[in-house]
Amino acid sequence: MKKVLITGAGSYIGTSFECYAAEKYPEELTIDTIDMVDGTWREYDFRPYDVVFHVAGIAHADIGNVDEATKQKYYAVNTDLAIETAEKAKAQGVKQFVFMSSAIIYGDSAPLGKRKRITKTTRPHPANFYGDSKWRADRGIRKLADENFTVTVLRPPMIYGKGSKGNYPTLSKMAKKLPVFPKVMNERSMLYIENLCEFLCQVMKRGEGGIFWPQNAEYSRTDAVVKMIAGANGHKILVTKALNPFAGMAGCVPGRVSELVNKAFGNLSYEQSMSQYDFDYQLVSLEESIRRTEQ
């Protein structure tokens, strides 16, 4: 039995993982959670734990409309707090530290019509302060690794599932209301929350360290996901290439419009081979994951 401490209360990933592990691996993993909002966590004893899973952080920023004070808060939470937590875990004898980095460290998606495939040799190049705050934490925490302190860094793509935040709920709303949608042949890596939770359970049980790029077994295409969402909700939607010229023109409009179009139809994927390990975690297919998310 391994004891896991989640640092960061109320997060989507942390809460989902705690429920999943309790259901699937109750004899192998026991989990506690502490809040990181105030400084009282610094007095908490990490010594009884085998694993610290750090999920505290700030995400989903409107990067085009943020003042300097807010940017500094991102660095304080996403970078400084993460590294300080890892340092405390190491000092108190915790064997493994698991950190949620992000695909955002590789920069923005490629715009509509252009491909962006990330491999193990792709160098991180954050496009904004949010990505940079995660990248600095990613580097800083990995520097603490040694033979007695295993550091496990995950760089997942977009995570989705029932109750998730971010881009998926927006896509879901459109899929349930729109009569037509562009058929743009883009390619994206995504990660269903249950596949992520299984991945986390496996690396914690095994005590594996290093950098990991978990993703679904299948790439996603925006129009295909929209059609799956619509179908899961009994809504008929026509997916057609006839709308593609309009999407292309919108992608060329400077500012917020092009940003939204490229978020929806841009390309960002991981090479599938870099996400294969000696354990199975891609248990839920894309189509089934959409059904479970929408049910």
**Strands 150-154 and 180-182, bridge-based pairing:** unpaired
Q: How close are the terminal C-alpha atoms of the chain, in Å? A: 33
Residue 176 covered by a domain: no
Strands 180-182, 238-240: pairing kind: parallel
How far is 274 from 225, CA to CA, in rounded Å? 23
For the stretch 264-274, pLDDT in tens is: 788 999 999 99
pLDDT at 249: 72
CATH of the domain at 60: 3.40.50.720
How far apart CA 146 and CA 272 sit, in angstroms, is 29
- 256 part of a folded domain: no
67 within a domain of the structure (yes/no): yes
**Span 202-211, pLDDT tens digits:** 999 999 999 9
Task: Say which DSSP state 111 is in.
Answer: P
29 pLDDT band, cuts 50/70/90, is very high
Query: What pLDDT was estimated at residue 40?
Result: 95
Backbone angles phi, psi at 258, to 5 degrees: -65, -35
The pLDDT of residue 253: 65
| pLDDT tens digits for range 115-131 | 899 999 999 999 899 99
Considering the domain boundaries, does residue 202 fall inside one?
yes
Q: Phi and psi at residue 221, in whole multiples of 5°?
A: -125, 130
Please report which helix (H) or strand (E) contains residue 126, including its range: none
Would you list the DSSP string of 152-203? Answer: EEE---EEE-TT--SHHHHHHHHHHH-SEEE-----B-EEEHHHHHHHHHHH
Helix/strand/coil for 36 = coil
The answer as to whether 111 is a domain residue is yes
| Residue 84 lies in domain | 2-165+190-217+269-285
CB 144 within 8 A of CB 88: no
User: For the segment 238-285, what is each residue's pLDDT rounded down to a tens digit?
Assistant: 999 998 887 777 666 666 666 667 777 889 999 999 999 999 999 999
**C-alpha distances in angstroms, 16 versus 29, 82, 178?**
14, 20, 30
Contacting residues for 272 by C-beta, under 8 A, at least 6 apart: 215, 217, 219
Question: 61-74 pLDDT, tens per residue?
Answer: 566 677 888 889 99
Q: What is the pLDDT at residue 49?
A: 98
Q: What is the pLDDT of residue 244?
A: 83
Number of independent structural domains in the chain: 1
- Give the H/E segment covering residue 280: none
Q: Is 261 among the domain residues?
A: no
pLDDT, the chain, mean: 93
Predicted pLDDT at 111: 83
The percent of residues above 70 in pLDDT, for the chain, comes to 95
pLDDT band at residue 163 using 50, 70 and 90 as cut-offs:
very high
Confidence of residue 60 (pLDDT cuts 50, 70, 90): low
Residue 172 pLDDT more than 90? Answer: yes
pLDDT at 166: 84
Cα Dmax for the chain: 61
Answer whether residue 243 is part of any domain.
no
**51 membership: H or E segment, kind and range:** strand 51-54
In a domain, 109, yes or no: yes
State the Rg of the chain over Cα. Answer: 20
